[in-house]
Amino acid sequence: MAKFKIKYLHKIIIINTFLLFFCINSYPNNKTDFYKLEKKLNNKSLSILQKSNNKERLKTNQNFQNKLIETLNKPGSIKHPFDSLEAVSVLQSNDKLLKIFTWEIPLTNGYYEYFGIIQIKEKKNNSDEFNIKIIELNDISANIELPENKKLCPKNWYGAYYYELIHNEYNGKDYYTLLGWRGNSPIIRQRLIEPLVICSEKGIIFGDKIFDDKFNENYRIIFSFSARVYMQLNYHKVFPFLGHSNFDEEKIMIVFEEIDPIDESLKGHYQFYKPITDVSNGLHFNNGKWVYHHNVDARNPEREIPEPIRLEID
């Protein structure tokens, strides 16, 4: 009888071990799966520039975009960092409610096309659970006149490669601000400061009148300059120049170089604009507004934010 019990117990152990192994393999680790998917996505995105013509680049990009959307629709994707996508900027807000993917496709004629996807974590009514919403961005920047003066939506996006996402709070409201780069044309580059608003009625809105003083009429700020030069636009700690700035202590600001034409006769011809490298201005967030400060000391910042690798570095 004892031998029978031992033999029976041995069979139970074998069966349970098999069932445990089966269960483990039937429910794979999400983190491991996402790393594998991310590696495949990275290879697809890097293959875009290997195509010799625009038609093939855009076709390959469409395949990459479809796979990225498919991946982002999988449960748990909002928690995965996707930080090894070399050609795609992936930014997440400090409150973990917003994640934005943007990338560019340089075309053979010197122009660019821009693509983007947003993930929003929306709380269900009267619940601690969340819905994940996926929003595709459609770049129609070539058809937008005076973009500084317009509110825009994902379907009529002023396309850009975003490299910084700033999250502020004031009076119970969240404020999101993006810093971006645009290869506007073969001879003109742009940097932009783009407010982003999440609202329950319309979803996402790009552009908002949250600038004070010099830019108080703008929905977004766009700096246009020659493709031959480089302009700084970052978010870090700055210091006042004595007698020049209207603040007297260090602050975290959006810092940008002042840009001017190389000659007054060329005003409005942005292919001839360049930064004045010894003059930096700043925007400090205060009471729901970005407040302008002229001539701030941006040398040797404590924290300089590098831009992610793009498909083509300017």
**pLDDT tens figures, 71-104:** 999 988 988 999 999 999 999 999 999 999 999 9
Q: Is the pLDDT of residue 137 over 90?
A: yes
Using CA atoms in the order 33, 87, 298, 240, what is the torsion angle rounded to 10 degrees? -60
Q: Is the pLDDT of residue 247 over 80?
A: no
How far, in Å, CA of 261 to CA of 184, rounded? 17
Residue 60, sorted as left (phi over 0), alpha (psi -120 to 50) or beta, turns out to be alpha
The predicted model scores a pTM of 0.84
pLDDT at 46: 95
3-state secondary structure of 72: helix
Q: Is the pLDDT of residue 218 over 80?
A: yes
Domain count for the chain, please give it: 1
Q: Is the pLDDT of residue 256 over 60?
A: yes
In a domain, 275, yes or no: yes
Question: Looking at per-residue confidence, does 140 or 131 come out higher?
Answer: 140
Residue listed under structure tokens 């491991």: 32
pLDDT at 26: 41
In a domain, 133, yes or no: yes
Using a pLDDT cut of 70, give the percent of the chain over it.
79
Question: Given pLDDT bands bounded at 50, 70 and 90, which one contains residue 278?
Answer: confident
Q: Is the pLDDT of residue 304 over 90?
A: no
Maximal CA-CA distance, the chain: 106
In a domain, 30, yes or no: no
> What's the rounded mean pLDDT across residues 215-238?
94
Q: What is the mean pLDDT of the chain?
A: 85
A 10 A CB-CB count for 184 gives 21
In a domain, 21, yes or no: no
A 10 A CB-CB count for 266 gives 13
> What's the rounded mean pLDDT across residues 140-159?
95
Q: Is the pLDDT of residue 200 over 90?
A: no
| DSSP at 95 | T
Element of type H or E holding 138: strand 130-138
> What's the rounded mean pLDDT across residues 274-282?
88
Non-local CB neighbours of 153 within 8 Å, separated by 6+ positions: 202, 203, 204, 205, 206
How far, in Å, CA of 289 to CA of 193, rounded? 13
In a domain, 37, yes or no: no
307 burial type by CB count under 10 A (0-12 exposed, 13-18 middle, 19+ buried)? middle
How far, in Å, CA of 5 to CA of 39, rounded? 51
A 10 A CB-CB count for 38 gives 20
In a domain, 312, yes or no: no
pLDDT at 21: 47
> What's the rounded mean pLDDT across residues 197-210?
86
> What's the rounded mean pLDDT across residues 251-280?
92
3-state secondary structure of 75: coil
Q: What is the pLDDT of residues 117-132, one digit of tens each?
A: 999 987 766 666 778 8
In a domain, 142, yes or no: yes
In a domain, 48, yes or no: no
Range of the domain at 191: 89-297
Rounded to the nearest 5 percent, the helix, strand and coil shares of the chain are 25, 40, 35
3-state secondary structure of 280: strand
> What's the rounded mean pLDDT across residues 11-35?
52
pLDDT at 272: 97
Q: What is the pLDDT of residues 29-51, one digit of tens each?
A: 445 589 999 999 999 999 998 99
